Amino acid sequence: MSTPIDVRYAWSGSDDVAWSQLGDGASVLVGGWWMSHLERDWEYEPFRRFVQAMARHRRVIRMDPPGSGLSRSRTGTPDTLEPHVDAMKAVLDAADAEQATLFAGSSGCAVAVAFAARHPERVRRLILAGAYLDGASIASAGDRAALVDLVRSSWGVSSRVMSDIFYPDATAEQRRAYARHQRSTATAESAAAGLEAVYSFDARADAAAVTAPTLVLHRRGDRAIRLALGTATASAIPGAHLEVLDGSDHHPWHGDSSAFLRRALAFDGVPEAALAGDLVKAPPAEPGAREADSPISGRELEVLLLVSQGLTDAQIAAELFLSVHTVHRHVANARTKLGVPSRAAAAAWAVSHRDGV
């Protein structure tokens, strides 16, 4: 069980903005991603380990942007940058942090860039992870609208879709855990409204005015925010340094999180000697996390477990947001790998081995 956090509030316009802090030293303000919830995020183990590792070297200030998580007053996420910029300033004021490094990711990057441009005296350094400046550049208008509609109409299905996009190389259990985490942080309506809002963010006009030293970190295989958008972000900010990391996980607390954090902290002035070893200590392997030892993939196991429950290919396709053809192919591939004569035999194998994969 994680240690409870001390949630505080900063007043910003019509908003009570929730924030918390951990650690000592120079301040780092961690901006919100698409969805943020101070308590639910802290309960999510990969995120908590990442923040705890950062807090061994810095005072980490977290916040829920207006309209999200524990922040109060607004009923929806503002779709312009100004309320988010004002909220960041209010939190820094409440935390008595005259200056801070901004560590932002994904949709938080546009807000951080706008803040750095408009309040340069408050920003020591700017670190952007999986960044973009213009929400409309993430996908076509049709694709953006379709995903917002899916989130609003079927939060269960869309949370799994987002997990697959954010963590394509994760195990089936890791994807399920993240889908559950997403659903714990927001209702379907607030998640859809938040997604609509971040698609509308546009900090391109602010980027050229940023004067803080800037590091843009982007994973090469990121499917949620393409590397080209991170490259464009670095190009638009004067003197920004782009570093491309291996991997495909969108959030820095998944995948090789130690490598990600080591680069961020070194850029923020933490001595290299203090960063030796594994910064982010992973817990012991749990059931579902040893996919490399299995003859079948995590997705194939996931499909077979649904087969064992009596679901048809069409029902499994709806459950996992796949095509019927893809489900059929997963079953056929698993049967071949296992050398069993039927889908029933493959499903029985999956049930008997689910704790060892």
Secondary structure (3-state) at 87: helix
Model-level pTM?
Answer: 0.79
> What confidence score (pLDDT) does residue 3 get?
63
Candidates 121, 135, 116; CA nearest to 215 is 116
In angstroms, rounded to a whole number, what is the distance separating the alpha carbons of residues 277 and 150?
42
Candidates 174, 172, 221, 176; CA nearest to 334 is 172
In angstroms, rounded to a whole number, what is the distance separating the alpha carbons of residues 188 and 155?
5
> What confidence score (pLDDT) does residue 289 get?
43
> What confidence score (pLDDT) does residue 280 get?
80
In angstroms, rounded to a whole number, what is the distance separating the alpha carbons of residues 149 and 155?
10
The residues facing 60 across adjacent strands are 22, 28
> What confidence score (pLDDT) does residue 278 get?
64
CA dihedral 127, 128, 129, 130 (to 10 degrees): -160
- Per-position b or e across 19-48, b if 16+ CB within 10 A of its CB: bbbbbeebbbbbbbbbbbbbbbbbebebbb
Structure token digits, residue 26: 């120079």
Question: For helices 313-320 and 324-338, what crossing angle results, to 10°?
Answer: 110
DSSP assignment of 268-327, as one string? TT--GGGG-S-SS-PPPP-TT--GGGSSS-HHHHHHHHHHHTT--HHHHHHHHT--HHHH
- Would you give per-residue pLDDT tens digits along the chain (357 residues)? 456 789 999 999 888 999 999 999 999 999 867 789 999 999 999 999 999 999 999 999 999 999 899 998 776 788 999 999 999 999 999 999 999 999 999 999 999 999 999 999 999 999 999 999 999 999 999 999 999 999 999 998 888 888 988 998 888 888 889 999 999 998 999 899 989 999 999 999 999 999 999 999 999 999 999 999 999 999 999 999 999 999 999 999 999 999 999 999 999 999 888 887 667 865 544 444 444 457 888 778 878 888 887 888 888 877 666 778 888 888 988 888 888 788 888 888 887 775 544
Neighbours of 129 (CB within 10 A): 26
Give the amino acid at 352. S
Query: What is the DSSP secondary structure assignment for residue 254, as one 8-state letter?
Result: S
- Quick one: how far is CA 314 from the chain centroid? 30
Residues in contact with 260: Cβ distance below 8 Å, sequence separation at least 6, in sequence order:
129, 217, 245, 252
The residues facing 9 across adjacent strands are 18
